[in-house]
Amino acid sequence: MSGFVHLWLMAFVWTLALELPVYVAVLHRHLARWWAPVLLTLALNTLTHPALWFLAPTWEPFWSWLLVWETVVALVESTAVWWVLKALGSPVSARRALVAGFTANFTSVTLGFLLLG
């Protein structure tokens, strides 16, 4: 396994560990089963995390582009949360979905950099 893929896998696991409690806290009242936020978090990150790591350009200045790409990912995840919950019949608001997506992603990127350097 290449060093870059190993680094991504480690970041992916940390991202799940950091985002899952946020999604559970924000969305648990909108989902009927206890495991639904777990499945939703895993599905969201399985789609967005590799895209951020492997497809997003790494232009300079790094921090500015990281902010742009994290915002895009948060918007994609927020939209997916809103769509999935609406499809399941939940009266979730777009605002709640945005809070979930942005809080989860900015928590994981901030704590990820603090924990992993």
Average pLDDT, stretch 18-34?
A: 91
CA–CA separation, 12 and 47 (whole Å):
11
Q: What is the pTM of this model?
A: 0.89
Q: What is the pLDDT of residue 117?
A: 63
Residue 26 confidence (pLDDT) above 90: yes
- Tens of pLDDT along 48-73? 999 888 877 666 777 778 888 899 99
Domain residue limits, the chain = 3-116
Work out the angle at residue 39's Cα, subtended by the Cα atoms of residues 70 and 101, and round it to the nearest 5 degrees. 25
